[in-house]
C-alpha cells in the first residue's frame, strides 16, 4: 500500500450524474469491497472483462485461457467522486500496479492489473496519471497496468458478490482484503463511507 498524489489531470463533470469505470486489480473480492466504501459510488459489481468470448464464468476465467481478467464495474456520481479519484484509490489501496499478472498470492493473467475505458476522457486521465506516477517514482518498480478500450463486462456469479462483507472472518479476506479497506479509511477519510453499497442478488445472479 503506497500513498500516491492526486492526479494532476482530472475532470469534474457537473452535467453528468452517472459514470462507470471498469478496473482489474487481482481478486475482485477486495477491489469490490474497497469501492463499496467510497462516497459517490452507487454500485460495484465483481465480474470479468478483457476476453474475446461472448460469455464468461469463474470456471472459464480461472483457467487463465480465456483472456479475461477478474474486474469490478464501478458506477459512480462524478459530481461527488471524480474518475481521477477512482484511479487514485485504485493505485494506492485497491491493488499493487507493479505486479505483472498477479496480485499477492494469486497468479495468472486473470489477476492482471488493467483498466477498461468507457470514453476517451478516461483514457486521457489514466495515461497522464500513470506517466505522472512513474515520473515521480512513487513506486520502486514501473507500473504495468494494461490500458484498454471498453470491452464486454460480465457480472460474476452471485456467490462472488459482496464477498468481503458476507465473509468477514475468511482467512483470505482478513489477510489480503481487510487491510485494503482499512487503508481506504485511513488514507481517504473524505471519500470513506462506513456503510458499504451492497448488491441485490437473486437466483444466484446480480439484480439490475
Instruction: Write the pLDDT tens digit of every residue in 122-152.
Output: 999 999 999 999 999 999 999 999 999 999 9
- For the segment 1-19, the average pLDDT, to the nearest whole number, is 91
Active site residue ranges: 27
Give the model's pLDDT for residue 101: 97
Strand order in the sheet with 19-25: 146-149, 113-117, 19-25, 69-76, 41-49, 153-155
Give the model's pLDDT for residue 64: 87
Radius of gyration of the chain (CA): 16
Q: How confident is the model at residue 11 (pLDDT cuts 50, 70, 90)?
A: confident
Instruction: Write the pLDDT tens digit of every residue in 100-128.
Output: 999 999 999 999 999 999 999 999 999 99
Give the model's pLDDT for residue 52: 79
Measured in degrees and rounded to the nearest 5, phi and psi for residue 66 equal: -90, -15
Domain ranges for the chain = 19-192
Q: How confident is the model at residue 38 (pLDDT cuts 50, 70, 90)?
A: very high
Sequence-ordered strand ranges (E) for 50-141: 69-76, 102-103, 106-107, 113-117
Domain 19-192: assigned CATH number:
3.30.1060.10
Amino acid at each position: 500500500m503506497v500513498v500516491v498524489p492526486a492526479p494532476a489531470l482530472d475532470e469534474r463533470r457537473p452535467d453528468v450524474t452517472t459514470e462507470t469505470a471498469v478496473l482489474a486489480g487481482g481478486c475482485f473480492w477486495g477491489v469490490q469491497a474497497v469501492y463499496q466504501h467510497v462516497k459517490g459510488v452507487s454500485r460495484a459489481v465483481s465480474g470479468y472483462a478483457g476476453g474475446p468470448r461472448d460469455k464468461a464464468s469463474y470456471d472459464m476465467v480461472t483457467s487463465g485461457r480465456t483472456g479475461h481478467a477478474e474486474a469490478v464495474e464501478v458506477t459512480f456520481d462524478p459530481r461527488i467522486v471524480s474518475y481521477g479519484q477512482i484511479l487514485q484509490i485504485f493505485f494506492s489501496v485497491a491493488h499493487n500496479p507493479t505486479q505483472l499478472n498477479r496480485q499477492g498470492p494469486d497468479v495468472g493473467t486473470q489477476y492482471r492489473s488493467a483498466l477498461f475505458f468507457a470514453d476517451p476522457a478516461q483514457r486521457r486521465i489514466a495515461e497522464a496519471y500513470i506517466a505522472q506516477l512513474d515520473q515521480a517514482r512513487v513506486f520502486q518498480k514501473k507500473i504495468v497496468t494494461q490500458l484498454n478500450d471498453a470491452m464486454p463486462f460480465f457480472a460474476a456469479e452471485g456467490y462472488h458478490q459482496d464477498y468481503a462483507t458476507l465473509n468477514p472472518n475468511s482467512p483470505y479476506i482478513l489477510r489480503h482484503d481487510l487491510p485494503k479497506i482499512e487503508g481506504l479509511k485511513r488514507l481517504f477519510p473524505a471519500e470513506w463511507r462506513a456503510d458499504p453499497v451492497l448488491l441485490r442478488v437473486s437466483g444466484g445472479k446480480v439484480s439490475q
